[in-house]
Structure 1
Amino acid sequence: MGIELVGLHWVYLTIVVLLIFCMILRRDTTLLCILGIFLLGISTNSIATSVSGIFNSFIFAIKELLSTILIISIIVALSRVLTITGINEVMISPFTRLMRSPSLAYWTIGIVMMVISWFFWPSPAVALIGVVLLPAAMRVGLPPIAVAVSMNLFGHGIALSGDFVIQAAPKLTADAAGIPVIDVISASVPLVFVMGAVTTITAFWLIRKDLKSGKLVNTADGLFQAGGHNGLTYDHKSQTNSLTPNMRKMMAVIITILYLIDVLVMYFLKLQGGDATALLGGTTILILLAVSLLAHRNQGLEKITEYIIDGFQFGFRVFGPVIPIAAFFYLGDSALFEIFGKVMPEGSNGIVNDLGVALAHTVPINAPVGALTLVTTGAITGLDGSGFSGISLVGSIAHLFSIAIGSGIATLTALGQIAAIWVGGGTIIPWALIPAAAICGVNPFDVARRNLIPVLIGLGVTTIVAIFLI
């Protein structure tokens, strides 16, 4: 028996449906998210607590997103100084030989992103390659939003959903399903690559179609525009000439070596996720300091502050619209208990997980229905923007379905894992794909909309393939 759904579940589900509808209509979701937070609070608490909950949920969301805001802001600051001093020109020159067209740029960036993400996870990989590959791609005509789509689908999609090297995701799902990790990995290989091939090819076709029609143009939101950014202006010509050509080449080599050292340290010390991002962030700050002092000499101290301010202005401008929607979806998990107290029935594991369990207990059991239920459950648990919070649940549900069906536990587990991570890890939840969007200087909601059709088609095709493998 599943847990009994109470008013909080229905309020949350209703707001989610309305949010999806608003996104389809390309309308702003901030008001609806704040209303949802208030309604969740007022369902079990006083009006005063509900009003306070709005502010507290924003604080919770900012805490959860802070490390991402910081790394993006720092990377943006470094990007500015590298572009202004001309070092970036030297760094991207090797890639311009390989990326000779928008098509080659799309696939080159995606494959590089996927390989690095297998070893270090996507967030550090985005920061590591975005600064160098974005200008090279733009130079051959690939718009920033297409670069963000490529990095996101290959990194947060293909690499993270399989997680073949680090194996954090398959370990969680395998433990919940009661099977060896290798079984989940083996079962996920065909599904991951079917999902990856369908989504990336579909996204590529849509990008080419929009480029030809003129709907998609090669412009940035401001991150790599010459001159000013976010209201700050620079004397681009005089600052570029502050370094000689040999100095630019030397700094380009040193910066590349430092990041390669970071890669080796991550590998040998097995740094993942937040630890890898912290190492990359610290290295980036040191490079920013050194380049600023070298390029601006007497004005170096002041310029360091300007670049950092510039980066933080960009970071918070990008995250501003995201915080309200993230605050609402975090309430689907642990944030609800932290902000509103013990307001759920006994045995509840959070609103999102309860909805997934309820779905699994209300459908007939056979291979097609089992596959469809695991995909839907995985997608629902991914709505919190984590991708990992619900994959233990899909492992448990896969175990239940496999007993009734008589086979397919590894395939069902892998399918649920793929759905949860592609949705929440993520490619269509706006705040989950902020790293790629921010590095490319584009709106994360626009990237999410562009990913939506390819990901839905991919999930549909992958589900059909999984039915034949169960």
Structure 2
Amino acid sequence: MMIELTFVHYLFLSFIAAIILFMVFRKDTTFISLLGIFFIALAATHSFTSSISTIFNSLIYATTELLPTIFIICFIVSLSSLLTNTGINEMMVYPFTRIIKGPIMAYWVIGALMFIISSFFWPSPAVALIGAVLLPVAIKAGLPPISVAMAMNLFGHGFALSGDFVIQAAPKLTADAAGIPVQDVLSASIPLVIIMGVVTTFTAFLMIVRSRKNELVTGELYGFEKSNEDFLLAKKWRIVLASIIPIVFISDIIFMILLDLQGGEATALIGGTSIIILLLIHFVTYKHKNLEKITGYFIHGFQFGFKVFGPVIPIAAFFYLGDSAFETLIPDTLPDESTGIVNDLGIALAHVVPLTGEIAAVTLTVAGAVTGLDGSGFSGISLAGSIAKLFSSAVGADPAVLTALGQIAAIWVGGGTIIPWALIPAAAICRVDPFLLARKNMIPVLVGLVVTTIAAIFLL
């Protein structure tokens, strides 16, 4: 069904273009994002006061949506700070230094582990687990933090999540929307997911190798090198706790498998475990004399978390208006048949392009990418399935291939590789600018999407 686009749709699209231009020219996006929220609300409600209120309410909405991610980052940073000060971190990473001898090995080992863990538990808990343990090792091996974050994003939020072969939440949504069995989507997505993942990760690897000399950061500069005299714990305690912590996190993985914990539930388990470990190490380190020291570590973690998320929340608030937030914050102002601004734009795009197999593949990629702009990845994949069903019947193409292609594009864009507010977990754990990370990921992801779209055309 064709959705009639309103002035609000075109205004939203105009501000998307403006935000992208701001990013390209490396300008701060807070001003343009908040301005966009105001004018979109004004166009929808024709009320000056309501538009002003929408600015505040949209920020509250975005913060609420991002709060679990903010908290897990805060707790991991608090724990990492204590692990570094006590010397436990150094003990934990020592065994890995024998395996990860250089930046090349660091990139591929971190990537492989991210892919495996993300396939079973989704990327957020995987980022927390791997970042806490392997980030210092990678930096000591010569891989810059920005490159570690790229590996986490591309292998986890991109490669593993776009296929979702184990949990199968994504293919189930797209298959239902396309009206085909989920097994058809899984089968069709295997070659496309592999092509997209291999092309993207190898392109990123070549970029990292080329620029590594200019970005090399040592452990000392990054704050991971301390002398033994600086540590707060004696060596015997460092050895004991460094042995216990990995066992505890491995136990988390076992519980995830046994209790079928995924996504937010798995992240909550990792976050709660981090707090328990923080309490244990704090008590062993400071005994009963300075128990208030833990407050300082919590403050440090929360300061870091909200400092990182500060510039992200306004732009996330704007893009949430394109999806679920609009009806919540500005109800009954879009047409009755509307499914959200971003989805409406995707449907409109599908109706204005010529119907050929080649154009169908390109349109599914573009439509999937557009629906991923809200930073969710999953919000638009049902739309991708619907468009695939429409195009396949019109041009006689394989609906499973088109469905898989739209799914891959939506998740790679929105799942956490090139949308700054979606890739915050990896950026925060690695302590890098999320907007810089998004720009670094942009070229590999775009190259991957082009190659994958071409491959899909031949598979149709």
Normalising by structure 1, we get a TM-score of: 0.95
Aligned CA RMSD, in angstroms, stands at 1.5
Over 3 Å counting, the alpha-carbon distance change for 1:72 and 1:222 in structure 2 is farther
The answer for the alignment partner of 2:65 in structure 1 is 64
1:45-84 map, 5 Å: 45=45, 46-84=47-85
The answer for the alignment partner of 2:207 in structure 1 is 206
Q: Pick one of 236, 249, 252 that aligns with 1:259.
A: 249
Over 3 Å counting, the alpha-carbon distance change for 1:461 and 1:225 in structure 2 is same
Q: Deviations over 1:221-259 (max 9, x none)?
A: 9974569xxxxxxxx86661x422221111111111111
Over 3 Å counting, the alpha-carbon distance change for 1:237 and 1:101 in structure 2 is closer
Query: Which secondary structure does the structure 2 equivalent of 1:43 belong to?
Result: helix
d(CA) in 2 for partners of 1:224, 1:367: 54
d(CA) in 1 for partners of 2:298, 2:221: 16
The answer for the alignment partner of 1:30 in structure 2 is 30
Q: CA deviation at 1:333?
A: 0.7
Q: CA deviation at 1:4?
A: 0.5
Q: CA deviation at 1:44?
A: 2.0
- Contact 2:136 2:224 survives alignment (8 Å): no
Flag structure 1 segments of 5+ consecutive residues without an equivalent.
228-235
Query: Which secondary structure does the structure 2 equivalent of 1:430 belong to?
Result: coil
Q: % of aligned pairs identical?
A: 60
d(CA) in 2 for partners of 1:218, 1:205: 18
Flag structure 2 segments of 5+ consecutive residues without an equivalent.
none
Question: Which amino acid counterpart does residue 41 of structure 1 have in structure 2?
Answer: A
Over 3 Å counting, the alpha-carbon distance change for 1:261 and 1:32 in structure 2 is same
Is residue 302 of structure 1 aligned with residue 292 of structure 2? yes
The answer for the alignment partner of 2:6 in structure 1 is 6
The answer for the alignment partner of 1:44 in structure 2 is 44
- Contact 1:294 1:300 survives alignment (8 Å): no
d(CA) in 2 for partners of 1:426, 1:221: 29
- Contact 1:430 1:444 survives alignment (8 Å): yes
Query: Which secondary structure does the structure 2 equivalent of 1:301 belong to?
Result: coil
Question: Which amino acid counterpart does residue 341 of structure 2 have in structure 1?
Answer: I
- Contact 1:239 1:296 survives alignment (8 Å): no
d(CA) in 2 for partners of 1:340, 1:181: 35
Query: Which secondary structure does the structure 2 equivalent of 1:304 belong to?
Result: helix
- Contact 2:84 2:224 survives alignment (8 Å): no
The answer for the alignment partner of 2:325 in structure 1 is 335
The answer for the alignment partner of 1:278 in structure 2 is 268
The answer for the alignment partner of 1:15 in structure 2 is 15
Q: CA deviation at 1:77?
A: 0.3
Bigger Cα displacement from structure 2, 218-227 vs 306-315: 218-227
d(CA) in 2 for partners of 1:223, 1:167: 38
Q: Which runs of 4+ in 1 moved over 4 A?
A: 219-227, 236-239
d(CA) in 2 for partners of 1:115, 1:442: 24
Q: CA deviation at 1:422?
A: 0.3
d(CA) in 2 for partners of 1:408, 1:249: 57
Q: Deviations over 1:400-442 (max 9, x none)?
A: 1110121310000000000000000020000100000100011
Question: Which amino acid counterpart does residue 125 of structure 1 have in structure 2?
Answer: A
d(CA) in 2 for partners of 1:181, 1:70: 34
- Contact 2:75 2:275 survives alignment (8 Å): yes
Q: CA deviation at 1:96?
A: 0.7
Q: CA deviation at 1:71?
A: 0.3
Q: CA deviation at 1:378?
A: 0.2
1:55-454 map, 5 Å: 55-212=56-213, 214=214, 216-218=215-217, 224=223, 240=231, 242-454=232-444
d(CA) in 2 for partners of 1:219, 1:278: 32
Normalising by structure 2, we get a TM-score of: 0.97
- Contact 2:377 2:411 survives alignment (8 Å): yes
Query: Which secondary structure does the structure 1 equivalent of 2:162 belong to?
Result: helix
d(CA) in 2 for partners of 1:206, 1:25: 21
Query: Which secondary structure does the structure 2 equivalent of 1:432 belong to?
Result: coil
Alignment coverage as a number of residue pairs? 459
- Contact 2:142 2:218 survives alignment (8 Å): no
d(CA) in 2 for partners of 1:193, 1:98: 26
d(CA) in 2 for partners of 1:219, 1:313: 24
Q: CA deviation at 1:445?
A: 0.6
- Contact 1:222 1:441 survives alignment (8 Å): no
Question: Which amino acid counterpart does residue 74 of structure 1 have in structure 2?
Answer: F
Question: Which amino acid counterpart does residue 274 of structure 1 have in structure 2?
Answer: G
- Contact 2:163 2:193 survives alignment (8 Å): yes
Over 3 Å counting, the alpha-carbon distance change for 1:125 and 1:315 in structure 2 is same
Q: CA deviation at 1:219?
A: 5.8
Q: CA deviation at 1:299?
A: 4.2
- Contact 1:85 1:243 survives alignment (8 Å): yes
Q: Deviations over 1:43-75 (max 9, x none)?
A: 022010001100000000000000000000000
Over 3 Å counting, the alpha-carbon distance change for 1:221 and 1:272 in structure 2 is farther
